[in-house]
Homo-oligomer: A and B are copies of this chain.
Amino acid sequence: MYRTHSNGQLRAVDIDKKVTLAGWVQKTRNKGFMVWVDLRDRYGITQLIFDAERTPKAMMETASQLGREFVIQVTGTVIERESKNPSIPTGDIEILVSEISVLNQSLTPPFTIEDETDGGEDLRMKYRYLDIRRTPVRKNLVFRHKVTMAVRNYLSDKEFIEVETPYLIKSTPEGARDFVVPSRMNEGQFYALPQSPQTFKQLLMVGGMDKYFQIVKCFRDEDLRADRQPEFTQIDCEMAFIEQEDILNTFEGLTRHLLKEINGVEVGDFPRMQYDDAMRMYGNDKPDIRFGMEFGELNAVAQHKDFGVFNSAEMVVGIAVPGGNSYTRKEIDKLIDWVKRPQVGALGMVYCRCNDDGSYKSSVDKFYDQEDLAKWAETTRAKKGDLICVLSGETNKVRAQLSALRMELAERLGLRKADEFAPLWVVDFPLLELDEETGHYHAMHHPFTSPKPGQLELLDSKPGEVKANAYDLVLNGNEIGGGSIRIHDKETQAIMLKHLGFSEEEAKAQFGFLMDAFEYGAPPHGGIAFGLDRLVAILGGQETIRDFIAFPKNNSGRDVMIDAPAPLDKEQLAELNLKLDL
């Protein structure tokens, strides 16, 4: 036994006990005749004391030579601490050490193992095993564990069965790029790593599992945008004999349970918003509704004056920034620069100050009188003291731009509070999405999503208008889950795949097994998948998923700690019947 207690365990009631502790040297204070050591482990910190009057000389020597992050084991007596430290649970006591053993030494760590470290991202990732010793990182990982345990126990109690689906599956051309795995036993053939267990969970429904879930790794070989990982974790769920309403209720229940269990927050019924409304009011299919600043569409009140920019725009839309009239001209100019950044892409911004005396002062006073501007204020729900920001242009683009501005301003105004939770269902997504580059429609959710009843016939005439039985769960402006009611008959699935550009042959080769399965009594079914990394980060009050992943990869998909990926031996390549073609 290396220890009788952890370093977070001892209290005043333990005084006079003889104990053995082990852990890392967090820090030492050496006053010559006295040495104090903070001993750390996952559970806390305990202060050790060595004192020349009571401690043998050799041990004083050992104690005074302890370096940071040395691993030691000590035996001693719990004594009352002279100057108590109320900020830690063990702050009433300390250990008068009678035996010490240095279990391992440590070089000086490349960064400080403190809550706030001096290590940059790259260094921390290279030495992630040291970074994990830091309390904030460790707490995130423990937090993640608590969330997954809560998810599993909740779903299991509701009769969901966790079923493991295979990782070595088949590559499909649909969607993002697959990671592939050459098969040695099947020459010239490849497995793919799953982007999600989508078809397998549907087959489990065909197989009568009724309620399935799995917390599972998924893989996408995408060029990594900020805060994306090539491997990520999903809470994957599917139910049979259900309608959309059943899914929403079930997973609203799960989310409410997590918010209560993990965050101690009670939330009421989740509001539901149509996709079209979300786009109209927030310019975004995952609106943050912790705050207002809803869009006001100004076409009716701002067009047909002499302002050509607005007159020629498909959409003129504004938001009221609470208290924004206090911005100086310089601050507003900076805001205009901000929306003109390439990442946002607006060509300019019109603004209108709402003065405290009820008058208005806009950047386009030449074209609009007070009465016009009052209508702007009314439409954007601007109050005295606010600033109205107006963008114009092509509808989709200008909505995205104004949405970015809304989020940025809310962030600056402190309206995106980490400890406030505003969940929201966004429903009635379009079935198809136009790829502007290729001019082709592709599945907005995936090819297995069912269209709304009676809308299948619109696929030919108005493909962009067909709505799907698809829904997203949004939390604080982040999509944390998304799903749909699936197609469960062969004919509809064939029509869908045809519209997505699959030839009959391709459809059969890729998804024949699923369509075959639909011929043997497939039940109505649907499901949802949550992005666990994101969910955990948001519940943890943060937005960077990397902080909640033990060993994340960098933006080039590299693990800089183990230095992977790496070149392969020639023999290994030859065994796989592969040649590099660089």
Contact = CB atoms under 8 A, between A and B. Distances in A.
B582 A185 contact: no
A46 B576 CA distance: 53
Nearest to A571: B173
A42 B210 contact: yes
Nearest to A6: B210
B41 A206 contact: no
A259 interface: no
Contacts of A180: 181-182, 568, 572, 576
Interface residues of A, number: 127
B168 A550 contact: no
A217 interface: yes
B105 A521 contact: yes
Nearest to A133: B208
A132 B106 CA distance: 54
Nearest to A564: B170
A208 B42 contact: yes
Interface in A96-118: 103-107, 109
Given A133-B207, A577-B580, A191 B520 contact: no
A559 B166 contact: yes
The secondary-structure label for the interface of chain A is loop
B104 A521 contact: yes
B185 A241 contact: no
A266 interface: no
Interface string A21-58: 01110000000000000001111000000000000000
Contact of A565 (B70, B177, B191, B556): B191
A233 B216 CA distance: 12
A496 to B, nearest CB: 17
B550 A204 contact: yes
Contacts of A70: 521
Among A1, A167, A182, A549, max chain B CB count under 10 A is at A182
A145 B157 CA distance: 12
A209 B567 contact: no
B129 A203 contact: yes
B169 A71 contact: no
Given A2-B243, A130-B207, A557-B186, A104 B166 contact: no
A579 B582 contact: no
A22 B241 contact: yes
Contacts of A182: 180, 182
Interface in A561-579: 561-569, 572, 574-579
A200 interface: yes
Contact of A551 (B141, B166, B189, B567): B166
A572 B211 CA distance: 35
A261 interface: no
Given A127-B520, A207-B128, A184 B221 contact: yes
A176 to B, nearest CB: 12
Interface string A141-162: 1101100110011001000011
Interface in A477-529: 488-489, 513, 517-524
A563 B513 contact: yes
A164 B565 contact: no
A396 interface: no
A389 to B, nearest CB: 38
5 contacts: A42-B210, A131-B207, A180-B182, A186-B558, A513-B561
Given A69-B520, A163-B550, A167-B217, 4 more contacts: A41-B210, A168-B231, A179-B191, A578-B581
